[in-house]
Amino acid sequence: YSGKKTSQAISDDIAQMIVKDFQSIPVVVQESMTVYDAICHMFLEDVGSLFVVDKNSILSGVLSRKDFLRTSIGNQDLNKMPVHMIMTRMPNITYCFKGDTLIDVAKKLMDRQIDSLPVVEERENGFEVIARITKTNITRAFLSLADDHDL
Ligand code: ADP
């Protein structure tokens, strides 16, 4: 036995890859944070997107590098502008749940041409952000599959 599995075993493994096993810690900011502070936060936390929550800790927006670039080349005062003015907001946020498959996530990322999704749990008043899943997590999963199958 060479240790190699059949292609059936590989496709079974892919179908069983779920968000919970590959997700990362989310970086969350308040709606009232200034764009300037949020840009600093993104640098310091070394992430490509920030999730915005309201006073009840419910997901209200997403901020990406492009959102910050767009705002920065305008003539606005970044120190006076709160992030809720520039974020992509609910109900236009694409999200997923911890039990979803990575295939589902990959489809959403490609269809919407985005880099990350908030992993959420439903609450009475909206969605709470519990994690984040990005293209990097998918790449890591891809490599773990290669590793497990001696590719
Ligand atoms: P970047 O700006 O670094 O290219 P994205 O491609 O992820 O990052 O973001 C592109 C646009 O899509 C931005 O305006 C951002 O606010 C929005 N966006 C990012 N992630 C999501 C998401 N999960 N749901 C909805 N919109 C998103």
Q: Assign residue 19 the CATH number of its domain.
A: 3.10.580.10
As given in the structure block, the two tokens for residue 42 are: 């993104």
Does any domain span residue 1?
no
Does any domain span residue 38?
yes
Cβ of 93 below 6 Å from ligand 1: yes
Give the pLDDT score at 63. 98
How many domains are contained in the chain? 1
* Ligand 1 pocket mutation pick from 49, 60, 97, 100 by most atoms within 8 angstroms of CB: 49
Cβ of 135 below 6 Å from ligand 1: no
- Mean per-residue pLDDT of the chain: 95
Residue-range definition of the domain harbouring residue 26:
7-148
Give yes or no for a contact between 95 and 76, defined as CB atoms under 8 angstroms apart: no
Q: What pTM, to 2 d.p., does this model score?
A: 0.94
| Residue 102 clears pLDDT 60, i.e. is over it | yes
State ipTM. 0.97
